[in-house]
Chain A
Amino acid sequence: MIGFLEAAGRTAREGVEALGFATRAFFNLLRFSPGAFRRPSLISEQVHFIGNYSLVITIVSGLFVGLVLGLQFYVNLIQFGAEEKLGSLTALSLIRELGPVVTALLFAGRAGTSLTAEIGLMKAGEQLSAMEMMAVNPVQRVLAPRFWGGVIAMPVLAAVFSAVGIMGSYLVAVKLLSLDEGAFWSQMQAGVDVNRDVVSSIIKSFVFGIAVTFTALFQGYNAKPTPADVARATTRTVVIASLLVLGLDFVMTALMFTQ
């Protein structure tokens, strides 16, 4: 009985401790960000590494998600004779939910893991300690540019995902299933509100960018400097970042789209 209580207490204490540690690390990162912005070439290098290289997987997944949504909605809408609504349905589901969420999940798998592994190996190779010895702040020189690179790249990728997805559903609906093109676009324009849908989609992807990039950097920076723990940290990045994205998405949807 005592042992059970002790275990429960330790778990709670460790949870609070980890949360506080992560929060302190986050504010530390923000504190050294202005220094990173004084060297924008470091950030643009990271946008290139994180963003440009994630573009292919984002475009291909966006296209296929759009194609599949078009087909699935068509099968169900045709039963009510409401297949004109297909445009607005696919656009709303892509812009509001699937665009930011699926992109963030892909982003965690594609860019988050590589960030964790990179930082973890830098730490294992004692490169970060070497920097500190040379009076170079590793948070400012290594972590902050990667963080802002990810935060900038994520909304761009999510917008590209949504746009390509809509084009994919257009291909299926208009070219394959010969739906009326005018009805497809006009129903979409009637359904999608720029302020309510497009802006909140951008806000969502921005928040996901912060969450995923920070998780990846935090896991890498706090991994034990052994090959086994760097591998575990990479796995933890994907698991924690994905759950964080899904949880945050629910909270933000509840705040944005319920009256």
Chain B
Amino acid sequence: MHRKIIDVWVGLFVLLGAAAVLFLALQAGNMSSLSFTDTYAVTGKFDNIGGLKPQAPVKSAGVVVGRVGDISFDDKTFQANVTLDLDENYQFPKDSSLKILTAGLLGEQYIGIEPGGDTKNLVDGDRINRTQSATVLEDLINQFIYSKAAEGKDGSE
């Protein structure tokens, strides 16, 4: 009898641990946002991906429709090759375009997918040609300084 009571308590103890791990994975971690639905892969080439990382969300109209799969560098064209795993439930026209966007001013980067007007949809293995690179803050500042300098010159003449 005593033996059984101990076993029950040990069982409860181990269950409590399993519940804690489940809580950490589902409520605190990103397990619930990982989709287990089928995906299809499309690739896009970017001149500059900025701080984009694998597992970053792919959004359309602000809704997550997929994840960034693999990022590699192509040394023929000197561009970044980004694979997107899109949810099978969402279909996009063949001439859709990709944009690298930033959540907030200093937030994480994600890919925005803008639907085109083609009647055919993207299928697994397709490549999206229309892409827009990440905005690099340093480039923006440089442009701003140059345009300011040019303005100053115009004024003096």
Contact = CB atoms under 8 A, between A and B. Distances in A.
Interface stretch (B17-25, B118-126, B135-143): B17-25
A156 B31 contact: no
A189 B32 contact: yes
Contacts of A193: 29-30, 55
Interface string A152-164: 1101110110111
B32 A52 contact: no
Contacts of A164: 20
Contacts of B9: 48, 52
Interface size of B as a range: 20 to 34
Interface in A198-230: 198, 201-202
Contact of B10 (A51, A95, A155, A198): A51
Contacts of A155: 17
Interface string A26-47: 0000000000000001001101
B36 to A, nearest CB: 13
A145 to B, nearest CB: 13
A197 B29 contact: yes
A198 to B, nearest CB: 5
Contact of B21 (A55, A91, A159): A159
B70 interface: no
Nearest to A41: B3
A143 to B, nearest CB: 19
Contacts, number: 81
Contacts of B31: 194
B13 interface: yes
Contacts of B47: none
B143 to A, nearest CB: 28
B89 interface: no
Nearest to A88: B28
Contact of B6 (A48, A55, A159, A190): A48
B27 interface: yes
A185 interface: yes
Interface string A46-83: 01100110010000000000000000000000000000
Nearest to B5: A48
A22 interface: no
A56 to B, nearest CB: 12
Nearest to A156: B17
B28 A189 contact: yes
Residue in B3, B30, B55 whose Cβ sees the most chain A Cβ within 10 Å: B30
B28 A160 contact: no
Interface string A170-208: 000000000000000100111011100110011000000
Contacts of A197: 29
B21 A47 contact: no
A111 interface: no
Contacts of B34: 194
B17 A48 contact: no
> Top 6 nearest A-B pairs by Cβ distance?
A156-B17, A159-B20, A163-B20, A192-B29, A194-B29, A160-B20
